[in-house]
Amino acid sequence: MKPDHIRMSYGFGSKLTLLGKRLLLIYGAIYVLELLFEHWFRIPVVSVLKLYPFGHSNFHVWQLFSHPFIHNPQSPITFLISCIVFYFFAAPVENAFGPRRFLILFYSSSVGAALCGLAFGSVVGFNTPFLGMMPSLLSLIVVFGLLNPEATILLMFVLPLKAKYLSYGTIIITFLTFLAKANPRGAYHLGGILFGYVYFRGPGNLVDPKLIYLKYRAWQLKKKRSRFKVVDSCEEKEDKDTPTYH
């Protein structure tokens, strides 16, 4: 279900929570070990831990759990960018959800990403392995915008942008790059966003017939009200073409 204690405003001035600091330390320590094993000890640990598609000779069940914790050892800049995104978005989302729900959101997004990526790979024969916390980060960005759509953030620290537009843009860009085959892990990333959204809304809320009916009735009422024009009672002139009420 949607958390009851969601805050109405957010800011990037929020400091990381204790849980956020611990997660960043864990990811940082793992990445340093990756660099040591891959570049100094010549031990290919990443190829054992990243998630390969079904049917691949290197696929193992444990990769479903290990792939979110490892990152490309050839691209430290990408890992640092991921940490920066986590720093900005993790604290406000955790403050809204609480530590336990935040962890469920973060790692259910990675599980959803894996399932969607594996399913897509099985259908089209896609053989690119998956790794990293990017699906969970994209999920955090989208959920952040849903929590407080009118919050203003600085995109690239310069351009002011409403959080809701950042959420919409994240979804649209991910989807379009997936369709254009510009993002080889598009299904993987979209799966993370999808599962994060489902958890935020609550599966029951998405398929509850009563809730759907209430939304339909609210839409009908809004449509009927749009046919009326509200006027001030002190107005001397009234519009004769449309019904009015005071």
Which DSSP string do the residues of 179-245 spell out, in sequence order?
A: HTT--TTHHHHHHHHHHHHHHHH-HHHHH-HHHHHHHHHHHHHHHHHTTSEE--TT-S---SSS-EE
* Cβ count near 70 (within 10 Å): 23
Q: What is the pLDDT of residues 107-127, one digit of tens each?
A: 999 999 999 999 988 877 777
With a cut of 60, say whether residue 210 has pLDDT above it: no
pLDDT of residue 123: 79
Tokens of 3: 């958390």
With a cut of 80, say whether residue 6 has pLDDT above it: no
Alpha helices in the chain (DSSP H): 18-35, 46-49, 63-66, 76-97, 99-124, 134-147, 163-179, 186-201, 203-207, 209-225
With a cut of 80, say whether residue 1 has pLDDT above it: no
pLDDT of residue 25: 97
Share the mean pLDDT of the chain.
84
pLDDT of residue 147: 93
Report the CATH fold assignment for 18-205: Rhomboid-like fold (1.20.1540)
Count Cα atoms within 13 angstroms, Cβ side, for 186.
15
Q: What is the pLDDT of residues 78-91, one digit of tens each?
A: 999 999 999 999 99
**Percentage of the chain lying above the pLDDT 90 cut:** 62
| Residues 106 and 140: beta-carbon distance below 8 Å | yes
pTM of the model: 0.79
Q: By C-alpha distance, which of 182, 61, 32, 59 is closest to 129?
A: 59
With a cut of 90, say whether residue 134 has pLDDT above it: yes
Q: By C-alpha distance, which of 19, 3, 50, 244 is closest to 147?
A: 3
pLDDT of residue 39: 96
Domain ranges of the chain: 18-205, 208-245
Q: What is the pLDDT of residues 197-207, one digit of tens each?
A: 999 988 655 54
d(CA 120, CA 123): 5
Q: What torsion do the CA atoms of 143, 149, 152, 156 make, to the nearest 10 degrees?
A: 40
With a cut of 90, say whether residue 138 has pLDDT above it: yes
Q: What is the pLDDT of residues 139-170, one digit of tens each?
A: 999 999 999 899 888 887 778 899 999 999 99
pLDDT of residue 9: 43
